[in-house]
Amino acid sequence: MISQAPTIFIIGACLVAAVIYSLCRRQFSDRIGLLKDHISFKDGIIAEYKRNTGAQSPDEARRIIAELEKRLDAIDPRTLRPKQIEILERELSQTTGKVTLVRDIISPETDNIAAQLVRAFKKCNWLIETHLTAGTGLPSATGVEITVPRDVELSGDLALVVHAFKQAGIRFDLSESDQQQQHAEVPSGTDVEIRIMQATDM
C-alpha cells in the first residue's frame, strides 16, 4: 500500500489537473467566443457605416458630410443647421428677454429661417413678437439684420443675442439706428429687433 501511494498521488494530481484544464478551457473558450462575436458586431457596424456613407475612413466620412452640407446650403441657404440651432439655444437660455422679429413677405425664402428663430427663442422662454412687412427697404448681404443703437456700446439682451448669433455661426448684419428711431411695426419696449429679408450674398 505504501509503495502504491506515489502512484495514487500522481493519478490524483493528473485528475485534478485535467479538471482544472477543462474548466479553464471552457472559461477561456467562452471569453474567446464573446470576443469573436464582439469583433463580428463591430465589423458589421463598420461595413454598414461604409455602405451608408460610401467612405473608407472617418476622415473621408467627414469630407463627404462637409460636401453634402455645402450642397444643402446651395439648395436652401436660408435654413439653419441642427448644430447652429443647438448652439443658439444654449446661448439664449442664459437669460430671457423680449425680441421682435420682422419678416419680409416679399421674399419667400425667409420662411424657414424665420420659423427656426421663432422656435429657438420660444424654447428658451423669450417673449417674441412676429410681424410681417411688404418690403423692408434695401436688402442686406446676409438677409438677417439685428438693429443696434448708433454710437452706443452693446449691452444686456441685445449683446447676448449678437453673441449667440456669432457663436452659432449665423450670418447677420448690424443695422445702426438712433435710439429714438424705431420702425412703425416694432412695439415699444422691445429689447431686440431682428429683421429677416432678401439676401444679396447667397
Domain assignment of residue 20, given as a range: 5-74
Domain boundary among 33, 55, 74: 74
All three cell numbers of 37:
462575436
Q: Are residues 169 and 112 in the same domain?
A: yes
Same domain, 183 and 102: yes
pLDDT given for residue 105 in this prediction: 85
Same domain, 12 and 64: yes
Does residue 202 belong to any structural domain of this protein?
A: no
- What single DSSP character describes residue 94? T
Cα–Cα dist 202/200, whole Å = 6
The per-residue pLDDT for range 13-57, each reduced to its tens digit, is 666 666 666 655 655 555 555 555 556 655 665 666 566 666 566
Query: Which residue, of 46, 74, 102, is where some domain finishes?
Result: 74
Number of domains in the chain: 2
Residue of 120, 124, 176 whose CA lies nearest to 146:
176
Q: Is 163 exposed, middle or buried (0-12, 13-18, 19+ CB in 10 A)?
A: middle
Contacts of 110 (CB under 8 A, 6+ apart): 78, 103, 104, 143, 196, 197, 198
What is the model's pLDDT at position 160? 93
Question: Which pTM was predicted?
Answer: 0.58
Percentage of the residues of the chain whose pLDDT score is greater than 90: 29
- Kindly state whether residues 34 and 95 are assigned to the same domain: no
Q: Are 40 and 137 in the same domain?
A: no
Q: For residue 31, give the 3-state DSSP assignment.
A: helix
Say if residue 137 is in the same domain as residue 93.
yes
Residue 114 resides in a domain: yes
Residue-wise pLDDT for 151-184, tens only, equals 777 888 899 999 999 999 999 999 887 654 444 4
98 and 184 fall within a common domain: yes
My answer on whether 93 and 56 are in the same domain is no
Cβ neighbours of 129 (radius 10 Å): 14
